[in-house]
């Protein structure tokens, strides 16, 4: 299962946001990858997510495979659409 979500928070996928995304991804029983421009990384790895350097306006590609793939995609999309809880 896959989807695309635009990073809308002001600071993009910075350290705190990457930590929130990877912690959320780790709660699901499935393989989850995130990426941009054709490059996918392990969404359960904070460092890998930070290396994407996904700024505000970046379209993030999410791919999940496994028993909880739908729940994972929905939860991660909601986190991103909520600006990682940052308000901006």
Annotated catalytic residues are: 14
Residue 55's SS3 state is: coil
Write the DSSP symbol of residue 69: H
Closest-CA residue to 61 (of 36, 24, 25, 81): 36
Q: In a 10 Å sphere around its CB, with 0-12 CB exposed, 13-18 middle and 19+ buried, how is residue 53 labelled?
A: exposed
Tokens of 69: 């793939």
């Amino acid at each position: 299962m896959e989807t695309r979500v635009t990073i809308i928070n002001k600071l993009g996928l910075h350290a705190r946001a990457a930590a929130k995304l990877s912690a959320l991804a780790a709660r699901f029983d499935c393989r989850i990858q995130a990426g941009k421009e054709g490059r996918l990384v392990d969404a359960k790895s904070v460092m890998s997510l930070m290396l994407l350097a996904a700024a505000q306006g970046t379209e993030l590609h999410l791919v999940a495979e496994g028993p909880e793939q739908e729940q994972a995609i929905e939860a991660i999309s909601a986190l991103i659409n909520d600006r990682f809880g940052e308000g901006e």
